[in-house]
Structure 1
Amino acid sequence: MKKITITFTILGLLCLLSCKESGNKKIAKPSKKPNIVFIMSDDHAYQAISAYDDRLIQTPNIDRIAEEGMLFTNASVTNSICAPSRAVILTGKHSHLNGKIDNRMPFDTTNVTFPQLLQKSGYQTAMFGKLHFGNNPKGFDEFKILPGQGDYYNPKFITSTGDTTITGYVTDIITDLTLDWMQKRRDTAQPFLLMYLHKAPHRTWLPAQRHYTEFTKKSFPLPETLFDTYETRGTAAKTAEMGILKEMQLRYDNKLTQAVTDALKVEDKYKWSPLDRMTPEQRTAWDATYGPISEQFKKDYPNMNDSTLTVWKYQRYMQDYLATIAAVDENVGRLLDYMDETGLDENTLVVYTSDQGFYLGEHGWFDKRFMYNESFKTPLLIKWPNVITPGTTTTEMVQNLDFAQTFLEIAGVTPTDDMQGESLVPLLKGEKEKWDRDAVYYHYYEYPAVHAVKRHYGIATEDYKLMHFYYNVDEWELYDRKNDPQEVKNVYDDPNYATVVTELKEKLKGLRAKYKDSDDLSNQYIQIYKDNGWIE
């Protein structure tokens, strides 16, 4: 009996020491392969993450990923529009090869996606939130996804067993569904891939009720280029239809009541209201905050000029856009806390990104599409305990094209031969000498279409960006990214940059060949537009 008592005493002490060292959290038995948590929001500008820029909002939970891992300052997309970006992420192939060049074209389901490969290799896979194309994503053991754009309030979800509508706020609900799967249906014997995908902060920017009062009282600094005149640029910037003054809608976007817009004889482009799905109780809470804003605008409007109206619309835009991000940040915190408390964080790669960047008034715009920085660059924060040195920043040129091969290498899975990205693993391990990319390729197709951003392709390095606008124009633009970070001066015709133009055109030609893009392929997609009656 004495020996038994001593044995139990020693075991008890070891348990106490173990609990003390682990912060009294339950330690999940790690799987041999790392888990992967991929968090993506829709249209989340890097300027609206305080790890990048703290002038607009504080995002302490998203920032945690950078503090515990790596912040990428030159991450970009290959095609700045929602569904094509997601197709690039899933397939590891540029839009011209996976076929999803824009939001109109259907996704070719014969494409092999990285979740399919992970699932086949033994990963448990789940997706919750916004996919934006297709109702039956391949490679997932469980999914609950929004149909198309989805709704902020009381959203419908598509599942493998049918549709369901859930009452509440979409960002909270997506997190509830994610945590429910983590807690109840995750197989602890398998490594897992979790895709946790937020609708916010996509237009029309409906905040959660808890953020109404705080954010509608805030005022935000104006972007230096809010009143950009596009002096040195060509047709594309001057004819785009995403201006805060002209294209942002007072009722649909800025949330004025129809009674006020009718009284002021202001015509809204969109006839439906994003508030229509609210319950009577939700609408009452909304009206209590937003009704007085409408009435005050009604009084002020007769004395507004273009400048004061632009500023007013910008402030209303920022109040709602940033309020939706506040809810995203809170919910990212909920997921990170759960992982910390259960010990899952110890063997899990966590990624936070967006499907592209977004204009927050820069150049007078909202939306995305262009290769100019605010829409071309995307936030990217990654943590991987015991691999990434916490608090690391990298300026390397990386793209959403690289995610598939990164996740596959981490999982020890061979990518398909047609994947075009490069694994980020050397950068994550601090082995920059193994990373040899110095330029990235971009191609945007959706024109003519909403926002009227012309088709263009281009190349970007850390120092320069060269773009070619085509189809119904033939115009080139060059920007010195180091000396003109706001990209307001096109120096394509400046003789001082003649050598740069020559070198970049040659490099661009090489990238197009490498990625199997060409003018012939562009013309084939233009013909598809014509065949479908989208253009004459």
Structure 2
Amino acid sequence: MSAAMEFLEEHKDQPFFLYYGTTLLHGPNKEWYNSLTEKELVTAEGFLEKPVGIMDRESVITRLEEAGLDPVNNAGYLWMDDSLGMLLDKLEELGIADNTLVCFVADHGSKRKGSLYTIDGTEVPCIISWPAGIEKGVVTEELIQNTDFVSTWFDLAGVELPEGYKMDGVSMTPLFKDRNAPVRDYVFNEMGASRAVKTKEWSYMTLRFTTDQVEEMRKNERSIEKTLTGLSGGISRGRDNPNALSYHQLYNLKKDRAETNNLVDNPKYAGTIEELRAMLKEELLKFEGRPYGEFVPGGNAQGPGTFDD
């Protein structure tokens, strides 16, 4: 945080890009609490009684207790909120808040981390503030994905890309003027052995283990559990879903947000599946030298059904 504040001071009179990625909310809740109650902090500068330029840690505990909230489970959230508040206050102090775009976004959900299920998995908060360029309080239901951020920053900065330079994302700047402006028809998700495409209405997910993963799982039950529950398996915390190990999954997100009713075997949706599979293949072909199942055969790719036994 101290480095971020110094950066803003040094670059306040010129265009800048600051990425502030907090790891605060990773790990068990008890660890957040312990971080606040430890008397000494070990840093590159030696032992510190409290972080330089950061709010008093003890006040976080006190404010939560006064509000009737459990400090152990909520300390990390309030501490992060305080940190973000300090950055926003600094922008105001420097007189550059109106023309600074601030984006707050999470990397993944919690309860279904490591899976491609939408709720508590791939769908995360994204809040963008830019007083000089975006109307306050606007909410959009349009689709965006994390690869769109770089394209957006380049667009706003007027960056001219070198010839042949490939971009995975698209600019979301049309949404800044019209919340209903379509940015993309679908989003692409990838985690371990799983791939998915999602439109506003449909979620199509696949699970294709590699040759190496199949061989590892055939060793013993422990290897099976480690592969399936680890991040490389593509299921992880989503394994509570009864369809988690299905090679193909299709869900209607408008009727089944929890993604529990797998429609993939219903002949009524054969056309929908064909369209979504075409989208997925188109996306996968963008990655050179990365085979995946029957979509991009070759290498260590395995088709569906290779581990049914």
Indicate whether the TM-score tops 0.5: yes
Which of these residues, 413, 421, 424, is aligned with residue 172 of structure 2?
424
Superimposed CA distance per residue, residues 382-421 of structure 1 (whole angstroms, 9 cap, x where no aligned partner): 1112211110111111011111111111111123521111
**Residue segments in structure 2 that go unaligned for 5+ positions in a row:** 51-56, 62-69, 215-244, 303-309
1:464 aligns with 2:194: no
Corresponding residue SS for 1:459: strand
- Which position in structure 2 is the counterpart of 1:218? none
1:200 aligns with 2:24: yes
1:347 aligns with 2:99: yes
Specify the code of the residue in structure 2 equivalent to 1:346: D
Instruction: Tell which has more relative contact order, 1 or 2 (C-alpha 8 A, sep 6+).
Output: 1
Aligned equivalents of 1:275, 1:372: Cα separation in 2: 40
Corresponding residue SS for 2:104: strand
| Shift in alpha-carbon separation, 1:426–1:510, aligned structure 2, 3 A | same
1:178 aligns with 2:1: no
| Shift in alpha-carbon separation, 1:321–1:522, aligned structure 2, 3 A | farther
Aligned equivalents of 1:489, 1:209: Cα separation in 2: 41
Aligned equivalents of 2:258, 2:246: Cα separation in 1: 23
- Which position in structure 1 is the counterpart of 2:225? none
- Which position in structure 2 is the counterpart of 1:332? 84
| Shift in alpha-carbon separation, 1:526–1:276, aligned structure 2, 3 A | farther
TM-score between the two structures when normalised by the length of structure 1: 0.40
How far 1:477 moved relative to its partner?
A: 1.0
Q: How does 1:299-378 map to 2 (within 5 A)?
A: 320=72, 322-359=74-111, 368-373=113-118, 374-378=120-124
Asked if structure 2 preserves the Cα contact closer than 8 Å seen for 1:456 and 1:469, the reply is: yes
- Which position in structure 1 is the counterpart of 2:53? none
Which of these residues, 405, 409, 414, is aligned with residue 160 of structure 2?
414
Superimposed CA distance per residue, residues 68-107 of structure 1 (whole angstroms, 9 cap, x where no aligned partner): xxxxxxxxxxxxxxxxxxxxxxxxxxxxxxxxxxxxxxxx
- Which position in structure 1 is the counterpart of 2:285? 513
Asked if structure 2 preserves the Cα contact closer than 8 Å seen for 1:388 and 1:430, the reply is: no
Of stretches 407-416 and 472-481 in structure 1, the one that deviates more from structure 2 is: 472-481
Corresponding residue SS for 1:355: coil
| Shift in alpha-carbon separation, 1:436–1:209, aligned structure 2, 3 A | closer
How far 1:190 moved relative to its partner?
A: 1.9
| Shift in alpha-carbon separation, 1:189–1:176, aligned structure 2, 3 A | closer
Corresponding residue SS for 1:406: helix
- Which position in structure 1 is the counterpart of 2:240? none
Identity %: 28
Number of residue pairs matched by the alignment: 240
Corresponding residue SS for 1:382: strand
Asked if structure 1 preserves the Cα contact closer than 8 Å seen for 2:100 and 2:130, the reply is: yes
Which of these residues, 458, 467, 492, is aligned with residue 264 of structure 2?
492
Asked if structure 2 preserves the Cα contact closer than 8 Å seen for 1:201 and 1:321, the reply is: no
Specify the code of the residue in structure 1 equivalent to 2:252: D
Cα RMSD after superposing both structures: 3.5
Superimposed CA distance per residue, residues 120-172 of structure 1 (whole angstroms, 9 cap, x where no aligned partner): xxxxxxxxxxxxxxxxxxxxxxxxxxxxxxxxxxxxxxxxxxxxxxxxxxxxx
Corresponding residue SS for 1:207: helix
Aligned equivalents of 2:180, 2:287: Cα separation in 1: 23
How far 1:319 moved relative to its partner?
A: 6.5
- Which position in structure 2 is the counterpart of 1:475? 247
| Shift in alpha-carbon separation, 1:324–1:418, aligned structure 2, 3 A | same
Asked if structure 2 preserves the Cα contact closer than 8 Å seen for 1:351 and 1:381, the reply is: yes
Asked if structure 1 preserves the Cα contact closer than 8 Å seen for 2:33 and 2:71, the reply is: no
Corresponding residue SS for 1:490: coil
Superimposed CA distance per residue, residues 502-525 of structure 1 (whole angstroms, 9 cap, x where no aligned partner): 332233223333555642778647
Corresponding residue SS for 2:19: strand
Specify the code of the residue in structure 2 equivalent to 1:462: K
How far 1:356 moved relative to its partner?
A: 2.1
Superimposed CA distance per residue, residues 310-335 of structure 1 (whole angstroms, 9 cap, x where no aligned partner): xxxxxxxx974542111101111111
Q: How does 1:190-269 map to 2 (within 5 A)?
A: 190-205=14-29, 206-208=31-33
| Shift in alpha-carbon separation, 1:522–1:413, aligned structure 2, 3 A | farther
- Which position in structure 2 is the counterpart of 1:152? none
Asked if structure 2 preserves the Cα contact closer than 8 Å seen for 1:439 and 1:459, the reply is: yes
- Which position in structure 2 is the counterpart of 1:439? 186
Which of these residues, 388, 391, 404, is aligned with residue 137 of structure 2?
391
| Shift in alpha-carbon separation, 1:519–1:526, aligned structure 2, 3 A | closer
